[in-house]
Structure 1
Amino acid sequence: MENEAIMMIDSNKTHLTWRQRLSFRRDLGNRLNVLRAAVMGANDGIISTAGIVMGVAGANMSATALMLAGVSAMISGALSMGGGEYMSVSAQRDLQNAIVQKEEAALRDDKTGSFQAMYRHYLDKGYAAENAAAMAHTIVDNNDIATILAEKFQIKLDKLLNPWLAAGADFFAFILGALLPLLCITLIPNPYKVGVTMAAVVVCLFGTGYTSAKLSQVPARKGALRNMVVGMLTMVVGFIIGSLIG
C-alpha cells in the first residue's frame, strides 16, 4: 500500500508538471495568435490604403484629395476590421460563457455526473483507473470548476477572450499599416511619389508576409513573395483605374 501511495503521488507530480507545460504552451499559442492577427491587420492596412491612394494619384488629383482619400480609407478600414474582430471574438466569448455556465450547473446539481465525466476524461488520457478516480474525486469534492474547464475545454476563467482587446489591437494595427502609403503618397514630391510609395509598400509587404508565414509555420519566402505580388497588383490596378477615370 505504501508503494502504491508513493506511485500515486509521483503520478500526480508528473501530471502537474505536464499541466504546467501545457498551460505554458497554450499561453504561448494565444500570444502568437494575437501577434499573427496584428501582423495581418497591419498588412491589410498597407494593401487596402495603398490601392486607394494609388487610384487617386493615378487620377492626378490634388495633394488635399490624396490626403482626404487616404485618411478616409484608413479610418473606415480600421473601423471595419475592428468591428469584424469584435463580432468574431464576441461570438467565441459567448460560447465560452455558455460552457462555463453549463459546467457550473452540472457541478452544483449533479456531482455524480461531473465525477463520471472527469473520471472518463482522465481514463481517456491514459491514467490508471485508481489515479483517475482520485483526481476526479478531488476536483469534484473541491468544486474545482477552473480545473474542469481547463482540462476538458482548454478554457481559463482568468483568461477568457476579450472582444474589446482584440478589436482594439486590430483597429490600431490597421492604422499603423495604413500610415505607410498615406504618408509616402502625400509627403513625397512629384514625380517620385508614386514610385517611392510602391517601393516602400512592397518592402513592407515582404516583411509582413514573411513574419506572418513564420508565425503560421509555412514557407516564409513563398508567403512573402505572394504578399508582395498581391500588393503590387492592388496598386497597379488602382493606378490604372484612377488614370482611366482621371
Structure 2
Amino acid sequence: MEKKQSLAQKVNIMRAAVMGANDGILSVAGIVIGVASATNNNYAIFLAGIAGMLAGTVSMAMGEYVSVNAQKDAQKKAIIQQKAILAANYDEEVLFVKEKYQQKGINPTLAAKAATEMMQKDPLLTSIREHFGFDIHEFTSPYAAAVSSMISFPLGSVLPLTAITLLPISIKIAATFISVIVALAITGFIAAVLGNSNRKKSILRNTISGVITMLVTYGIGTLIGR
C-alpha cells in the first residue's frame, strides 16, 4: 500500500509549483517585454516567448530535481552520522535532547523524563529532529517537485505571453506590465503563506524584482530597436 504524503511533503511540492509559476510569469514577461520594445512583430514576440517558456520549463524542472536530491543526500548523510554518534555517545545525546526541551520552556524534571522516553522509543528520530529539524520518515520526492515545476512554469508563462501578443499595440506593453505585477503579488502572497513568512515583505520583494526585470529588458529592447 502506497504511503500517503505528509502535510510537510505536500507543502514542499506546492512550494515548487508556486515558485515554478512565479518564475514562468517573470521570466517570460522579461523576454516578451524586451522583444516588444524592440519590434511590433507579433510573430517574433510570440516565438521569443515560446522559446523562453520551453527553455524555462526544462530548466526549472531539472533545477528542482537536482535541488531536492541534494537536500535528500544531505539529510541521509546526517542520518548516517547521527547513527554513529548514538552508538558511541547515547547518554550525551539524551542530555542534548533534554537541554533542547528545557530551552523550549519545559520544566527540567519533565524535560528529563520526556527526553528519556523519546530516546528509548526512537533515538534516531528524536536526535535527528532536535539536531537538524527534519523527520527521517519524510522526504520530498524530487520527481514530484520536478513535475510540479514542469507544469506550473508554462502555466505562469501563459499570462505575459497572451497579454503581449493579443492586446492592441498601443497598450500591450503597459497592460502586460500591470498584469504581471498583479500576478507576482499573488504568487508572492501564496509563497509567504506556504513558508509562514511575512506576507507584505514577500509581496513587495516579488513585485519589486518583477518591476526591475521588466524595466531592464524593456530598456535593452528599446536601445536595440533604435
- Name the TM-score class by shorter chain: 0.7 to 0.9
**Which residue in 2 is equivalent to 1:24?**
none
Deviation at 1:147, TM superposition (A): 4.7
**Which residue in 2 is equivalent to 1:204?**
183
Tell me whether 1:187 sits opposite 2:149 in the alignment: no
How many residues align? The count is 212
Partner SS for 1:158: coil
Q: Distance in 1 between matches of 2:115 and 2:208?
A: 57
**Which residue in 2 is equivalent to 1:131?**
113
The letter for the 2-side match of 1:138 is: Q
The letter for the 1-side match of 2:65 is: Y
The letter for the 2-side match of 1:92 is: Q
Scaled by the length of structure 2, the TM-score of the pair is: 0.74
The letter for the 1-side match of 2:113 is: N
Return the structure number with greater helix share: 1
Q: Is the 8 A contact 2:12 2:140 kept in 1?
A: no
Q: Is the 8 A contact 2:64 2:146 kept in 1?
A: yes
1:46-98 alpha-carbon deviations (Å, 9 max, x no partner) = 12211110111122253222222111111212322332232222122112222
Q: Distance in 1 between matches of 2:153 and 2:79?
A: 33
Task: State the percentage of identical aligned residues.
Answer: 38
Q: Distance in 2 between matches of 1:119 and 1:225?
A: 44
The letter for the 1-side match of 2:135 is: K
**Which residue in 2 is equivalent to 1:88?**
67
**Which residue in 2 is equivalent to 1:235?**
214
Q: 1:225 to 1:161 in 2, by over 3 A?
A: closer
Q: 1:185 to 1:114 in 2, by over 3 A?
A: same
Q: Which stretch of the first structure deviates more once superposed, 188-197 or 200-209? A: 188-197
The letter for the 1-side match of 2:149 is: D
The letter for the 1-side match of 2:91 is: Q
Scaled by the length of structure 1, the TM-score of the pair is: 0.69
Deviation at 1:150, TM superposition (A): 4.1
**Pairing 1:1-246 to 2, within 5 Å after superposition:** 32=11, 34-104=13-83, 110=87, 113=88, 115-124=90-99, 125-126=101-102, 128=109, 131=113, 135=117, 138-139=120-121, 145-150=124-129, 152-214=131-193, 215-218=195-198, 220=200, 222-246=201-225
Deviation at 1:28, TM superposition (A): 5.6
Q: 1:136 to 1:176 in 2, by over 3 A?
A: closer
Q: Distance in 2 between matches of 1:83 and 1:133?
A: 41
Q: Distance in 1 between matches of 2:98 and 2:153?
A: 46
Q: 1:224 to 1:105 in 2, by over 3 A?
A: closer
1:143-169 alpha-carbon deviations (Å, 9 max, x no partner) = x64455445544434312322222333
Q: 1:45 to 1:103 in 2, by over 3 A?
A: same
Q: Return 5+ residue gaps in structure 1 as ranges.
A: 1-26
